[in-house]
Chains A and B, each alone.
Chain A
């Protein structure tokens, strides 16, 4: 098969690539660009591990042909952190213990990012709905929901506080 040109912006960088017409966006990100933070968990759009932002909207990279995003802007988990600082969502996931095996984490964070971009002050139900397409097998979602709520600091969320219960953080 012959490759065709693809112009996309990934994490702010304009790229000119040659891709097979049948490649998915996920294959281009992982295989061509080595952006392996975006995971493949099912390959059929169910698990959400491949969630990336397309023009700020969450999409499944595994169900999106690369050529469908011609000329558009894609953000992956690698594009969230600044040079020295993490995105508040990333900080919050760490601090709240929202990560266990971590395989779903990049997709989960991207789904949450899309939510916060639209709705900076989400209620618990809105958070749960926003990540309902992202399967986590380890956490039972409790700490993920807490972490997302806490990453919207301007809100007086009624969601369980971050650091209750026994023990305290080491100094």
Chain B
């Protein structure tokens, strides 16, 4: 066991006291003098040309201070990549989905703003629309964007090895198609933005975000103001789950209204707006063909996936790739071909979500179970045969330095008593296993690295400056824990300045599971440098060599002689009296292959580390209703090293709720053409406390050679393996392999009845 003072401990999070008292300020809680309320007018049509907008009656309404439309913008188009720039934040020519932004007002209060929206007259020419990805690809289908034939937004093509040869050599080949509906994030906090300009023309803006620097750059582009004048501020954030990674039109619109009125403006989304007008998960049609030898080893695999991308590109190239990447990491594959198509439709925009493709992940694992059954194998054994191992390369050429996939399978199986239960449970009970892997980071260009700055203060405490943002997962605490450990301080001695684009250096943002690995590492390096300077001063005071000194519990002492310690505060004050300031800088740049590109060149080192996990679920199905009761879940993940088991368990448990309980049993959208019919929590069924089973968390540590203290990622991989395990357990319970997700009671009941009829 490592001799850490703070790292590895069950430390309650530093941000929680303010959250339990109600003092933590979320964006909608902010209030400024003369602040106006902003509201957005949205398209009532799925696809239409905008002929004219007449806002004169709205502007004449008392209390209305501004109306903005596309005519008030520079018409800059947003896209995560240069080749995906397809979205105007206020479109001028046409609208492409029901709910798209058309105009916005700022008024003295909400009632006035809402009344003003009704007074804006928009003339539309309705256009034919497409709502299904396969129909959208068919010849003659209406085009969502004129310059994208067949509405193909992104095509990711990966081919490795000899796929046909692999199939020819296979003992058994199966091909199956799996489908899944859209799901939504349902972050606790609906989206909100507050914007104002200061006297120097700097934009100050607050919003839930997964990377303040990733917000600032597109705002600077769209408003045509210098980047250094866009100050995205820190604020409490009510969840992201992949849905707040990009700029939102609301950010731009709010800033535009603030600019026009020279007053602070606040926009708070309704729950319906948060569902329809932010991001959703892609619906998917995935065809998987797998060939194995007689031992169950996968020899060849071909996957073709059609993803409904909605009206704009969003993170399209990434979203089209990650479902495949997760599975190529989790399982060995020598010969593999992937064709991922992201298709434009006239539906809301799709982005990255915690479970990257139910029809993908559950499809791969369900098919493994089908193959295992045909071969007379145990589902656990076929996973052990194919599980990724450390020291290997993924098909797309990422080296896997650390991997304890097999250990997560074996430990989860032992805890769940898999061998005693599988195939031996009473009727209508089932147990299933799922395995997955996620990336710790992506190639991110110039914002792919993180830098941190640390300064000791006169009282012996320290200020840590980092661009890392906390959107609920505990990143603030992670930074404080690392800094306190390295500097020999208590967590309460650390002042954290973070997630503010004026004050903090660049950071990739809290997505792609990279915060600890990159941002945490930068803080660790900065702290190590500051400690070196601290010990340099102390070495003169203690007449000892720097390398023999230890900083711990606010003291500096010679290793082995804690009785002759001097307080850190005294060292700092001694340094100050000699003009020696104790600061540190750290920078971490992940060693990824910069030539790797999502579409043009999807090969090379993707990120430095990958996490691996296994979930096992045990369920009971009511054959009269098709309802599923989940009895017990075991979640095991190779996180590299557990910096804080208390926080990690929370990530595991939340992942089971979102990926398994909600993602596999109840969460999906249903539609009337392009209109979401269940945009609120009344109709979209999220798990509640009574739904949740007992969850056993197993932390597996593979000690990644590059991660800070050996740490990698936690929280996303379990969401995916939980979805797979829930699906597998239900299939086991009813004796039918289901292929359309989520597995709602109607589908389960239908399968039971069809099986009974033979």
Contact in complex: B12, A94 (CB < 8 Å) = yes
Contact in complex: B10, A100 (CB < 8 Å) = no
A44 at interface by CB-CB < 8 Å: yes
A139 at interface by CB-CB < 8 Å: yes
Closest chain A CB from B720 CB (angstroms): 15
Interface residues as binary, B669-684 with A (CB distance below 8 Å gives 1, 0 otherwise): 0000000000011100
A86 at interface by CB-CB < 8 Å: yes
Contact in complex: B28, A40 (CB < 8 Å) = yes
Contact in complex: B28, A101 (CB < 8 Å) = no
Q: Which of A31-74 contact B (CB under 8 A)?
A: 34-44, 46-47, 49
Max chain B Cβ within 10 angstroms of own Cβ: one of A36, A39, A89, A167 = A167
Closest chain B CB from A33 CB (angstroms): 12
Contact in complex: A94, B16 (CB < 8 Å) = yes
Q: Which of B1-48 contact A (CB under 8 A)?
A: 5-6, 8-13, 15-26, 28-29, 31
B314 at interface by CB-CB < 8 Å: no
Given contacts A135-B188, A137-B658, A170-B491, is CB(A42)–CB(B20) below 8 Å? no
Given contacts A97-B13, A99-B20, is CB(A128)–CB(B689) below 8 Å? yes
Q: Which residues of B contact A42 (CB under 8 A)?
A: 190, 271, 680-682
Q: Tell me the complex Cα distance, A35–B646, Å.
A: 30
Contact in complex: B271, A43 (CB < 8 Å) = yes
Closest chain A CB from B12 CB (angstroms): 5
Contact in complex: B271, A103 (CB < 8 Å) = no
Q: Which residues of B contact A36 (CB under 8 A)?
A: 22, 25-26, 28-29
Q: Which of A77-123 contact B (CB under 8 A)?
A: 77-78, 80-81, 86, 89-90, 93-97, 99-106, 109
B189 at interface by CB-CB < 8 Å: yes
Contact in complex: A94, B17 (CB < 8 Å) = yes
Closest chain B CB from A97 CB (angstroms): 4
The 8 Å CB contact of A143, one of B6, B271, B650, B686, is B650
Number of chain B residues whose Cβ lies closer than 8 Å to a Cβ of chain A: 68
Given contacts A39-B189, A44-B682, A81-B21, is CB(A100)–CB(B474) below 8 Å? yes
Contact in complex: B692, A141 (CB < 8 Å) = yes
Contact in complex: B22, A139 (CB < 8 Å) = no
Q: Which of A1-44 contact B (CB under 8 A)?
A: 30, 34-44
B649 at interface by CB-CB < 8 Å: yes
B473 at interface by CB-CB < 8 Å: yes
Contact in complex: A103, B188 (CB < 8 Å) = yes
Closest chain A CB from B306 CB (angstroms): 28
Interface residues as binary, A139-171 with B (CB distance below 8 Å gives 1, 0 otherwise): 111111100000000000000000101111110
B237 at interface by CB-CB < 8 Å: yes
Q: Tell me the complex Cα distance, A92–B657, Å.
A: 22
| A142 and chain B: residue at smallest CB distance | B653
B690 at interface by CB-CB < 8 Å: yes
Contact in complex: A140, B189 (CB < 8 Å) = no
B654 at interface by CB-CB < 8 Å: yes
| A131 and chain B: residue at smallest CB distance | B689
Given contacts A42-B271, A47-B681, is CB(A166)–CB(B653) below 8 Å? no
Q: Which residues of B contact A136 (CB under 8 A)?
A: 188, 689
Q: Tell me the complex Cα distance, A90–B12, Å.
A: 12
B236 at interface by CB-CB < 8 Å: yes
B472 at interface by CB-CB < 8 Å: yes
Closest chain B CB from A22 CB (angstroms): 9
Given contacts A129-B690, A165-B697, is CB(A43)–CB(B681) below 8 Å? no
Given contacts A43-B270, A169-B10, is CB(A78)–CB(B22) below 8 Å? yes
B113 at interface by CB-CB < 8 Å: no
Given contacts A36-B25, A97-B647, is CB(A86)–CB(B20) below 8 Å? yes
Q: Tell me the complex Cα distance, A47–B682, Å.
A: 9
Q: Which residues of A contact B237 (CB under 8 A)?
A: 101
Closest chain B CB from A115 CB (angstroms): 12
Q: Tell me the complex Cα distance, A81–B23, Å.
A: 11
Closest chain B CB from A96 CB (angstroms): 8
Q: Tell me the complex Cα distance, A81–B70, Å.
A: 49
Closest chain A CB from B25 CB (angstroms): 7
The 8 Å CB contact of B6, one of A41, A90, A100, A170, is A170
Number of chain A residues whose Cβ lies closer than 8 Å to a Cβ of chain B: 62
Closest chain A CB from B313 CB (angstroms): 26
Closest chain A CB from B401 CB (angstroms): 23
Q: Tell me the complex Cα distance, A129–B661, Å.
A: 17
Closest chain B CB from A15 CB (angstroms): 18
Q: Which residues of B contact A135 (CB under 8 A)?
A: 186, 188, 681, 686, 688
Contact in complex: A167, B8 (CB < 8 Å) = yes
The 8 Å CB contact of A105, one of B20, B654, B661, is B20
Q: Tell me the complex Cα distance, A139–B473, Å.
A: 10
The 8 Å CB contact of B692, one of A37, A40, A76, A140, is A140
The 8 Å CB contact of B189, one of A81, A101, A141, is A101
Q: Tell me the complex Cα distance, A138–B656, Å.
A: 10
Contact in complex: B681, A166 (CB < 8 Å) = no
The 8 Å CB contact of A101, one of B239, B658, B687, is B239
Max chain A Cβ within 10 angstroms of own Cβ: one of B644, B686, B689 = B689
The 8 Å CB contact of A100, one of B25, B472, B697, B699, is B472
Given contacts A43-B271, A97-B649, is CB(A170)–CB(B11) below 8 Å? yes
Q: Tell me the complex Cα distance, A46–B686, Å.
A: 11
B567 at interface by CB-CB < 8 Å: no
Contact in complex: B657, A140 (CB < 8 Å) = yes
Q: Which residues of A contact B398 (CB under 8 A)?
A: none
Q: Which residues of B contact A127 (CB under 8 A)?
A: 689
Contact in complex: B688, A103 (CB < 8 Å) = no
Closest chain B CB from A165 CB (angstroms): 6
Q: Which residues of A contact B474 (CB under 8 A)?
A: 100
Contact in complex: A41, B650 (CB < 8 Å) = no
Max chain B Cβ within 10 angstroms of own Cβ: one of A101, A104, A128, A135 = A101
Contact in complex: B472, A101 (CB < 8 Å) = yes
Q: Tell me the complex Cα distance, A142–B655, Å.
A: 12
Closest chain A CB from B635 CB (angstroms): 10
Closest chain A CB from B330 CB (angstroms): 22
Q: Tell me the complex Cα distance, A77–B680, Å.
A: 25
Closest chain A CB from B395 CB (angstroms): 33
B245 at interface by CB-CB < 8 Å: no
Contact in complex: A103, B239 (CB < 8 Å) = yes
Contact in complex: A168, B9 (CB < 8 Å) = yes
Q: Tell me the complex Cα distance, A81–B21, Å.
A: 7
Q: Tell me the complex Cα distance, A42–B15, Å.
A: 24
Q: Tell me the complex Cα distance, A97–B9, Å.
A: 12
Contact in complex: B656, A140 (CB < 8 Å) = yes
| B25 and chain A: residue at smallest CB distance | A36
Contact in complex: A102, B6 (CB < 8 Å) = no
B695 at interface by CB-CB < 8 Å: yes
Q: Tell me the complex Cα distance, A47–B697, Å.
A: 27
| A144 and chain B: residue at smallest CB distance | B689
B645 at interface by CB-CB < 8 Å: yes
B450 at interface by CB-CB < 8 Å: no
| B19 and chain A: residue at smallest CB distance | A102
B238 at interface by CB-CB < 8 Å: yes
Shortest Cβ-Cβ A-B pairs, 5 listed: A37-B22, A101-B472, A102-B19, A103-B238, A103-B188
Q: A42-B190, A97-B10, A167-B9 are in contact. List 6 more A-B contacts (CB 8 A).
A: A77-B22, A100-B473, A128-B692, A134-B689, A137-B654, A140-B657
25 pairs of residues in contact across A and B, judged by CB atoms under 8 Å: A39-B28, A41-B681, A42-B190, A42-B681, A43-B271, A46-B680, A46-B682, A90-B21, A97-B10, A97-B13, A100-B239, A100-B473, A101-B238, A101-B471, A102-B19, A128-B689, A131-B689, A137-B686, A138-B654, A140-B656, A140-B695, A143-B649, A144-B689, A166-B645, A170-B11
